[in-house]
Structure 1
């Protein structure tokens, strides 16, 4: 079941800072959106582009926990991994994010979950990377497709579980 939403994803980059900021609203309260971010059974249903299947290898969504998942299709596979630095239910999630293709590149990501009127939620994700060059490579990688399609799938998941 698909649901049309008017929620738009904003992906922003300050020209002078190695930072990517993503802002998106969801038609669900912060508790449900946060759970979709931290429950591995829900996370695999929405993360990334529609053409990729996600498999969780490790998932310990608590402060000090670690995670690793693989996205794959046909004969292509890519791994992502990191640590949960702060897990504050329904409010804030701070984690590192690394990609197997760039094991020395670590992003520090802070996601906030802001309650809005009408039982809605705004998420703001801020990712800090090592350099402007790395930030620009990430932005040019097609990550916007994964972010946008993933958030569309999250909209659908939240609508099903409403």
Structure 2
């Protein structure tokens, strides 16, 4: 089984999300970077990506459009800054509706020990106010549910070999 989601705020502008998964980091990295996998787990329960575009190269753009309960729509995108498979992925992120203030920088670090991978996701905001605005949203629940879905997908892939 995967571990629980840990959420910390080590600086005035950072939110750190950490979770352990029962899978190798190559597989977790693939789930973070392959559209066929991303669309199977990304988002809180009830939310699904309906448009997933990735240009996985430094300077390449990404964009997700998701639909959720009661016709809700959310879109976000950014640009890849660092891609070092299977251990590091860094990109910018901006939401179309600006419900989350401004551009953030997202860093995913993957560390594997004995076949289990710890994913540490650091989201750096432009200001403390921006970070605190995000913390007022149901971010912990949403990311927790999304990572639950990722854990379920990784388990399925490990059992069936369906890595798309």
Note whether the superposition's TM-score is higher than 0.5: yes
Scaled by the length of structure 1, what TM-score is found? 0.91
How far 1:58 sits from its partner (Å)?
2.1
Paired residue for 1:43? 38
Further displaced range: 48-57 or 86-95: 48-57
Cα separation, partners in 2 of 1:53 and 1:101, compared to 1, 3 Å: same
Superposition RMSD in Å: 1.4
Cα separation, partners in 2 of 1:54 and 1:92, compared to 1, 3 Å: same
Instruction: Report whether the alignment pairs 1:156 with 2:156.
Output: no
5+ residue gaps, structure 1, are none
Paired residue for 1:105? 102
Q: Where has structure 1 moved over 6 Å in runs of 4 or more? A: none
Aligned length, in residue pairs: 156
Further displaced range: 25-34 or 73-82: 73-82
Instruction: Give the counterpart of 1:140 among 136, 140, 145.
Output: 136
Instruction: Give the counterpart of 2:47 among 45, 49, 52.
Output: 52
Separation in 2 of the partners of 1:55 and 1:25?
27
5+ residue gaps, structure 2, are 159-164
Which string of whole-angstrom CA distances, capped at 9 and with x for unpartnered residues, describes residues 112-136 of structure 1? 110112x110111111101111101
Separation in 2 of the partners of 1:6 and 1:160?
13
Structure with higher strand content: 1
How far 1:104 sits from its partner (Å)?
6.3
How far 1:57 sits from its partner (Å)?
4.3
Separation in 2 of the partners of 1:112 and 1:142?
23
How far 1:9 sits from its partner (Å)?
0.6
Which string of whole-angstrom CA distances, capped at 9 and with x for unpartnered residues, describes residues 130-154 of structure 1? 1111101111111112100111111
Separation in 2 of the partners of 1:104 and 1:125?
18
Paired residue for 1:93? 89
SS of 2:40 mapped into structure 1:
helix
Scaled by the length of structure 2, what TM-score is found? 0.90
SS of 1:17 mapped into structure 2:
coil
Separation in 1 of the partners of 2:33 and 2:104?
18
Q: Is the 8 A contact 1:40 1:56 kept in 2?
A: no
